[in-house]
Structures are given as structure tokens and as C-alpha cells.
Amino acid sequence: MSLQVGSPAPEFRAQAVTPNGEFKDVKLSDYRSKWVVLFFYPLDFTFVCPTEIKSFGEHYKVFKDSNAEVIGASIDSVYCHLAWINNGLGKLPFPLLSDITKTISRDYGVLIEEK
């Protein structure tokens, strides 16, 4: 599925690692009346992604000042997210979603299926 500019974002619900390191169910509708910056990255413990993810964290105040929330997502589990945060990535001011079913990635048209 390909999203079009101006079309509604697909609703999602998934577990996430929160900034305080807890696991929490997060859904898009939790952020109603705010802008949402939802970014996807392939996997935890990769070498390119930390730079971009940390940059979102460094600019988090700019997003908040614009009434925007930031959410990261990958197909890794919350346990993998937490291990990466604790062993390399570092603390983040926004949640990391676990899309282990790949449903959210498919709904947003960002999943590249293996052939």
C-alpha cells in the first residue's frame, strides 16, 4: 500500500520502549491534536541508523516546540530496542515502537519484503 500526501495516517497500536525504559502500548490516536513524526529504521544494532536516531533526539525540543511528537519504529522486539538503548544507542526522549508483526511497516508502505 502506498500512502498519498494528505491521506489519513493508518492507525496503529504496538508495544514501545518509553524514554524511561518501560514497555508501554502506544497507538497513533494517543497523539490526536498533535503532529506526529513517525520514522522507520531497518534494525537495531546497525551502524548507520544510530546517527539519524540520535539526531532526532538532539532536535527533540524543536519538534516539541512545534507541537510534534517523535516516534521511532523498527521490526525488532521491545527487548531488542531496550538492549540497544542500554548498550550503545543511549537514552532517547521519544519511544521506539516494536513492529514485530511488520503490520505497521506494511500499512505505511515502508517494508521491503524478502524475495
This prediction's pTM: 0.92
Q: Is 80 tagged catalytic?
A: no
Q: 58 and 81 in contact (C-beta within 8 Å)?
A: no
Task: Name the residue range of residue 94's domain.
Answer: 13-107
Q: pLDDT by residue for the chain (115 residues), tens digit each?
A: 577 888 889 999 999 999 999 999 999 999 999 999 999 999 999 887 889 999 999 999 999 999 999 999 999 999 999 999 999 899 999 999 999 999 999 999 999 887 6
Q: Give the other-Cβ count within 10 Å of 43's Cβ.
A: 11
Q: Is residue 1, in this structure, part of any structural domain at all?
A: no
The single-letter DSSP state of residue 76 is S
pLDDT of residue 49: 80
For residue 115, what pLDDT is reported?
Answer: 61
H or E element at residue 7: none
| Cα–Cα distance, 17 to 85 (Å, whole number) | 9
Is residue 28 domain-resident?
A: yes
What pLDDT score does 1 carry?
A: 56
The full 3-state SS of 22-79, as one line of letters, equals CEEEEEHHHHCCCEEEEEECCCCCCCCHHHHHHHHHHCHHHHHHCCEEEEEEECCCHH
Q: Which of 17, 49, 70, 71 is catalytic?
A: 49
Nearest to 37 by CA among 70, 12, 62: 70
Q: Can you read off the three cell numbers belonging to residue 42?
A: 531497518
Please give the pLDDT value at position 7. 85
Grid cell of 19 as nine digits: 524514554
Residue 49 lies in a domain: yes
Identify the CATH number of the domain in which residue 25 sits: 3.40.30.10
Q: What nine digits make up the cell of 93? A: 526522549
